[in-house]
Amino acid sequence: MSGIRRNLSPDFKAKVALAALKGDKTVSDLASLYQVHPNQISQWKKQLLDHAATVFGKTDTTVSDEVEVKELRAKIGQLTMENDFLSRGLSRLGILSGKR
């Protein structure tokens, strides 16, 4: 556990976090075994627990984002139609030329 920064793969992090969740060994034992700081193992374990639900489907945030996107697209369509309608009406009245 020197001061050298290593780039560890997501697979490695998941393996260590799962080992920590399993509970067969202490975090200190796992830190020695995998040559990472015990605090890092605890952090990976917490991240795994916090994001485990995303493995099995969409999160509430994703669903609400999709709903919002659909609503915004509908609003854009409505505004486009209204804009076209008003442009044609103003053109007929001679207030607006055919240019935009």
pLDDT at 67 over 60: yes
The predicted structure's pLDDT at residue 58: 65
Q: How confident is the model at residue 31 (pLDDT cuts 50, 70, 90)?
A: very high
10-28: pLDDT as tens digits: 999 999 999 999 999 999 9
CA–CA distance, 12 with 79 (Å, rounded to integer):
50
With contact defined as beta carbons under 8 Å apart, do 53 and 59 qualify? yes
- pTM score: 0.54
